Structure 1
Amino acid sequence: MKDQLVVVIGGTSGIGFEVARRVVERGGQVVLGGRDPERLERAVSTLGAAASGRTVDVTDKSSIAAFFEPLTRLDHLFAPGSSYGRGKLLEISDELAESPFRAKFWGQYYAVKNAAPKIAKTGSIVLMAGAYSVRPPVDGAAYAACNGALESLGRALALELSPVRVNVVSPGMIDSDLWARVPSEVREQNVASFSRDTLVGRPGTVAEAAEAVLYLMTNTYTTGSVLYPDGGFSLR
């Protein structure tokens, strides 16, 4: 990653921040995107001189375009930042049901659209989906469909944008700081449920997910692939 420029939208916390930290640690530079100016400033300050950041709303096409406009070139793009909900078909509101596609699918789609003309031919794009693409929950049909759509998008873009490499990471439950924002009993129930459904008996760590992303960025013979750092969840 030495002297390479990596854009991470959603880089103020969780997997995104850990990817950014590891890029800087390996000699690269990062441009972070996030919705909250204060969290963005803290993340950039923590990463030091090799990092910069700008606010961006992934549900707003014009905001995404404005984020990329000042950049003349970049080497890698990772845009996991999104906020969405899920629920059962007959219970969830239309707005909440559509939220994974608005933020997670279209947010990444338009990030790629704006970044693609500026990505080095030796560079890469890593899309973020999720293991529910192949093992759907009983309360998230639209969310599962969104993850599946992102995996298909990654394969299609690998063909269209070649020689730029495009891959998808589809993790299982990652026990990141995002879970600290939900009630402890909800987190504990999800950890217990996911642990029962995996082969390794636990959720993943942020470090494990970040290393999967870095692999997809740096392995120059990997494109059009979907990687499942999910502890075997998709096999049960």
Structure 2
Amino acid sequence: MFTDQVVAIIGGTSGIGLEVARRVVESSGRVVLGGRDAGKLEAALAELGPAATGRTVDVTDKSSIADFFAPIERLDHLFSPGSSYGRGKFTEISDDLAESPFRSKFWGQYYAAKHAVPKLSETGSIVLMGGAYSVRPPVDGAAYAACNGALESLGKALAVELSPIRVNVVAPGLIDSDLWTRVPEDVREHNYRTYSEATLRRRAGTVAEVAQSVVYLMTNDYTTGSTLYPDGGYALR
């Protein structure tokens, strides 16, 4: 599936990004990982073996993103799930926190795509990371929901402008990943319970399920300008 192909994954040291990297390597491809944490990057590279290389990158810093791509000679696919942001109620959230989804998630992916394009083959693809809150916003995340909607529009616009390179968006719902280990247990359990109650599948999603969706978007040659929602039916409730 990925034989002799090179895939760049920014945010590939844990969670969905790392699982996609595993699948690429298992399918005889090579990966170039980017991450903020040098220790986690080293651990991921050790796990993936000689088919993986990588370097640290800060998605809020345009020069850091440019430096990440500079040594890469060619690419077949880009996936950029790495970001860090906050949420809060519209009337209470600080300006800095409200702007964080756009600084990290939107502009980080925008500039990653910009620097990847000169390296991408004409048969290549870009998969952007959005989120199901674009179509069913939470009560405490106006800017975050807007950011996800903007990424879906960016995906469509780039699919038109960059053709024949394919550009798609994966927009998962709440995923049971290691990211949730960073929050208090009671907060985590509350989010899992309320999300499960709001979906058709009655549970949070898994990292493997989203990774499968990303691999599909990378490898299906007739899919472009689309948004795929591995969200358990959250958007339909």
Moved >2 Å (runs of 4+): none
Q: Could you list the runs of 5+ residues in structure 1 that have no partner in the other structure? A: none
Give distance in 1, aligned partners of 2:63 and 2:101.
19
Give distance in 1, aligned partners of 2:188 and 2:47.
27
Give distance in 2, aligned partners of 1:88 and 1:206.
28
- Give the letter aligned to residue 190 of structure 2: Q
Give distance in 1, aligned partners of 2:125 and 2:231.
22
Post-superposition offset of 1:181: 1.4
Give distance in 2, aligned partners of 1:30 and 1:139.
36
Partner of 2:77: 76
TM-score scaled to structure 1, two decimals?
0.99
Partner of 2:181: 180
Post-superposition offset of 1:146: 0.1
- Give the letter aligned to residue 140 of structure 1: G
- Give the letter aligned to residue 178 of structure 2: D
Partner of 1:221: 222
Give distance in 2, aligned partners of 1:226 and 1:125.
12
Q: Please give the secondary structure, in 2, of the residue aligned with 1:48.
A: helix
2:152 matches 1:151:
yes
Post-superposition offset of 1:47: 0.4
Q: Please give the secondary structure, in 2, of the residue aligned with 1:45.
A: helix
Post-superposition offset of 1:90: 1.1
Post-superposition offset of 1:89: 1.0
Q: Residues 6-155 of structure 1 correspond to what in structure 2 (within 5 A)? A: 6-155=7-156
Note the aligned Cα RMSD (angstroms). Answer: 0.4
Deviations 1:146-192 (A, max 9, x none): 00000000000000000000000000001001111111111100000
- Give the letter aligned to residue 53 of structure 1: G
Partner of 2:194: 193
Between the two proteins, the alignment pairs up a number of residues equal to: 236
Identity of matched residues, %: 75
TM-score scaled to structure 2, two decimals?
0.99
